[in-house]
Amino acid sequence: MRLDHSSLSIIPSSNRRDFLRTTTACAVGAALIPALNQLGLAAEVTASTSRKDKFFTAVKWGMIEHPGSVTEKFQLCKDLGYTGMELISPLDGFALEDVVAAHQATGMPVHGVVDMKHWEIRLSSPDESIREQGINHLRQALEDCHAMGGFSVLLVPGQVNGEQETHDDVWTRSIAGIRHVLDTASRLGVRILIENVWNGFCETPEQLRDYLDEIDHPWVASYFDIGNVRKFSPSENWIRVLGNRIVKLDVKDWSVKDGFCKIGDGEVNWPEVRRALDEIQFSGWCTAEVTGGGAEELKDIHRRMTEVLDLR
């Protein structure tokens, strides 16, 4: 069952005319970027289009601790100012029909899903039978995402985990597994987006860039987590190295003293992150991945995302 909504459903109907005018202007401006780069002016031109027209906000499904039905949770997020939802695969405690009903009742699109099996059933496992299960779960996540109207599956490709699961093993085994489902991704129009996490894998931006480039497929790209990389090096450097390989963002903060913390309270240099995102002309979904809660906590998270990304 496929949700029936157009790609413009992420934009309120009252704003679609302005959105289309802005998009047209961006298309014209994009043609000038190479020349303007020579003058150091590209970032200023790109930033002239308001980020609130280009960045769309969501939270991870597990962060929503508000009681109620799937529809009520969709409605809560809409009321708090979020523009869409990210779900999970496999669904837990509710059915696809509940997601369809929630979308129809609220107009809130599902922009993607998280493959919830990628940690325990890894594409990098030394056990071939486990890897096969991981491939099957990834394929099912692609099917689930398509059925919900989404267009990406977040994937952690594996974990560096001893002599039988080295960095090279994660690299080669996960790429082999991903290639098994590229036909499904292409057929459904759902991208496989690799998240950078603390799994011992690709801990420099150059490594992650080269990993994606070795896969070399239009349906595989980066789901870039801004806060996860701050432990290793400045987030803005990763953004500049990965460039347009970045399709979506996870938004969180981190500091040496406190570890993961509230968005805006850590060591992520948000002005530089915004500048780097403008330089690569990022436009897309920004999903919070922090400690959630009820309405008040989710409201504060939206406020913080709005401030650090300058979506006002």
Residues 227-283: tens digit of each pLDDT? 999 999 999 999 999 999 999 999 999 999 999 999 999 999 999 999 999 999 999
Note whether 154 and 277 are same-domain residues.
Answer: yes
Same domain, 80 and 68: yes
Answer yes or no: do 170 and 236 share one domain.
yes
pLDDT greater than 80 at residue 142: yes
Q: Is the pLDDT of residue 191 over 70?
A: yes
Instruction: Report the percent of the chain where pLDDT is more than 90.
Output: 83
- Domain range for residue 80? 51-308
Same domain? For 42 and 114 the reply is no
- The strand pair at 85-89 and 152-155 is best described as unpaired
Q: Which residues of 103-137 are buried (b: 16+ CB within 10 A; e: fewer)?
A: beebbbbbbbbbbbbbeebbbbbeeeeebebbbeb
Q: Are residues 235 and 271 in the same domain?
A: yes
Reading phi first (left if > 0) and then psi (alpha if -120 to 50, else beta), residue 191 is in beta
Of the candidates 34, 49, 64, which is a domain's last residue?
49
85 and 45 belong to one structural domain: no
Q: What is the pTM of this model?
A: 0.85
Same domain? 62 vs 170: yes
Domain count, the chain: 2
